[in-house]
Amino acid sequence: MSTAPPPLRMVEISGAEALWLLEGSALGRLVYTQRELTVVRPGRHTWEYGRLVVRTPAPAAAVPATATYHVDEVRAATGTGWSVTVAGPVDVITDADEAAHYQRTLAGWSHGPHDTLLRLHPKTVSGFRLARAEP
């Protein structure tokens, strides 16, 4: 006989807690629109000086002026965890010294024209905790 899965709920978290969760993780996904299609690229990130620096395998010319970055940690067995989304304007890091620093500190997937370093200036931060519902 099988039992019904426990009821789950999403609880909105504050922006400060969302940023704290974001800082504690290393992997995420850059989401942007290109030629009227949604593009999702994996990314590694670090939070420095109030900005999110992302290394992603996307051509720099294809990344628009604004983008969204999504990070989550969900435990599949229990359905619990958290999810954070940051959106805002994006700059491509072109300074050679700064780019070299982030290429050393953020592991990438590819090297060459599709290895891009971006600086995301957060305008909106939202997050949710995925938890079991209280009985």
pTM (predicted TM-score): 0.86
Number of domains within the chain: 1
Say which residue the tokens 């500190």 belong to.
105
Residue 70 banded pLDDT, cuts 50, 70, 90: very high
Q: 15 and 125 in contact (C-beta within 8 Å)?
A: yes
Which of 12-16, 24-28, 67-71, 130-134 has the weakest average pLDDT?
130-134
Section 67-77 average pLDDT: 90
Evaluate whether residue 8 is within a structural domain. no
**Under a CB-based contact definition with an 8 Å cutoff, are residues 113 and 119 in contact?**
no
pLDDT in tens, 1-57: 566 666 778 899 998 999 999 988 989 999 998 888 899 999 999 998 889 999 999
Q: Which domain holds residue 127?
A: 16-132
Which residues are bridge partners to 47 per DSSP? Answer: 52
Q: Is residue 3 part of a domain?
A: no
Alpha carbon distance 112, 115 (integer Å): 6
